[in-house]
A and B are shown apart, each in its own frame.
Chain A
Amino acid sequence: MAAYEKRRAAAAPAAGSGLGEPARAGAAARGLGTEAEFLLQAGVTAMVREALLKVLEARPEEPVSFLADYFEKLVLSSPGAGGEAAAEPPGLPQRLARALWYVRLAHHSHRTAFNNNMGMAYECLSASGRRKRPGVDGRLYSELLRRICRPGAAPEDVVAALLQKIQCRDHEAVPFDVFRYGVLTCFVLLEFAAKAGTLYDVLDGGSGPADKRVCQAVLHTLEDALGASDFSVPIRYLEAGSKLGPDCLALAMDRALQERELSVSMSREEFVKKATALFVAKVKPID
């Protein structure tokens, strides 16, 4: 976020002189009278509609900052915006930053929006400046994945284990489908880690570290449900639902507490690490 703020400050004056002025001048020259015609002519109507669509797609919690980000990126990416500077293609860091912004626009559960944004990010990364080798190579892709995971709640070595599974080698061309899968997996890992943190909060009951035996019982139950049969989908869902129901979990935790009276605690980091490791084990590696 800090990076965005800086860029916005820098971009603000450029926006005034770059995008607005020529359009207004052109409209005045042609003597367009009505407001509606001006808006059409300047492309404002389409732009605002697009922005509204993005808001509806992403349904952000804070629409104002979302729109601010959106317009800022629009200024940066529009061809006439930066004047002379925009004539040369944007550099690698810029393209990465923009792709990162695109993929973060919508939550992955808004499938259409997420997939659209993913397409935009892919296009943005593959638009190579030299026009020699369009497409996303493994180096760009892996770098993007690393950046997605970097500030997240997931522990470093779990992220490394995940990247090991889904990243591509530097020279490899990354198909869109693999790109989508990789990015999605990173986002889901972050969410999973956050969920694990919340779960830990529930387990420790708001008072100090949680009991190791209880933590392990819950993790085992989850592992058991995850490792469930390879039956068809509805059966698998029912099975997991039954195994992860409150009754089963309560019994498992109760049994764990009966085992030994020696009470050892498990730290939050350890719990999140173990939980996310379960997730990473379920991720299908790219081949």
Chain B
Amino acid sequence: PCTLLQPCLRRGDTGGRCGCRCGRPDPVRARCPQLQEIVFRNFYTAFLSVRVQRAGAEGSRKWVTCLRDYRLMPSPHTEEGSQDYFSLFRHQMLCDVDQVTAVRFILRQPSPVWLHFTIEELQIYPPSQKVTGCWWFAPPPQCGEGDLRQELPDPEKVSTEVQQMWVLTEVIRARQAAARIGRFDVDGCYDINLLSYT
């Protein structure tokens, strides 16, 4: 729901290429007042700090740091973690992230090996956006040995057979005929509009 502004590059003290980039997303005003989760893909950023601007009392706005030097690459000179996806949750933040009006990402890469670094595919989710109620979020049913009746058929075997039957229907679905006979009649009758004198 927000876009990154052009990042500004702050060179480090060493004068080399290493340094900080600072990305600032568009202020997301009242549309996304609460942060639940930040998802992004890393591109050679070693450390990430996040600052949020919160609306205080009587209209004042204050920048606070809610994540400080979160390590994205275990070793900045090597590839590990350099292009991974990351997910930051609310509980990882150092302070409350309610009433957020703007978010600022500060990216640091101390290694001079990587000329360019950024984060990509940034997505910020409010709490309600989580998809729930789907089967894959439901915890798998667990049944202990004692709960079940003795006379029940072996579930493992039943499951194997039923799954094989399911696979067979999937075979048919996957290898359907692309060609058509080209029938124009419906239940043995032709639409009069389709017929023509020859």
- Contact residues of A with B, CB < 8 Å? 108, 168, 172, 174-178, 180-182, 184-185, 188, 191-192, 195-196, 198-199, 202-205, 210, 214, 218, 221-222, 225-226, 237-251, 253-254, 257, 275, 278-279, 282-284, 286-287
What residues of A have a CB within 8 angstroms of the CB of B172 in the complex?
Answer: 184-185, 188, 279, 282-284
Q: Which of A202, A225, A254 contacts B161 (CB under 8 A)?
A: A202
Q: Which of A177, A178, A188, A210 contacts B168 (CB under 8 A)?
A: A188
* Contact indicator A249/B164 (Cβ below 8 Å): no
Report B183 CB to chain A, min CB distance, Å. 6
- Contact residues of B with A, CB < 8 Å? 135-136, 140-143, 147-149, 151-159, 161-166, 168-173, 175-181, 183
What residues of B have a CB within 8 angstroms of the CB of A199 in the complex?
Answer: 158, 161-162, 165
* Contact indicator A249/B166 (Cβ below 8 Å): no
The DSSP consensus for interface residues of chain B is loop
A78 to B164, CA, bound (A): 40
Report A218 CB to chain B, min CB distance, Å. 6
Q: Which of B151, B155, B163, B177 contacts A247 (CB under 8 A)?
A: B155
* Contact indicator B152/A257 (Cβ below 8 Å): yes
A226 to B180, CA, bound (A): 25
Q: Which of A184, A243, A250 has the most CB of B within 10 A?
A: A250
Given A181-B175, A226-B169, A240-B166: A247 and B142 within 8 A (CB)?
A: yes
Report A72 CB to chain B, min CB distance, Å. 30
Q: Which of A184, A196, A247, A283 contacts B143 (CB under 8 A)?
A: A247
Q: Which of A178, A188, A202, A226 contacts B166 (CB under 8 A)?
A: A226
What residues of A have a CB within 8 angstroms of the CB of B178 in the complex?
Answer: 177
Closest to A166 in B: B177
A202 to B163, CA, bound (A): 14
What residues of B have a CB within 8 angstroms of the CB of A172 in the complex?
Answer: 181, 183
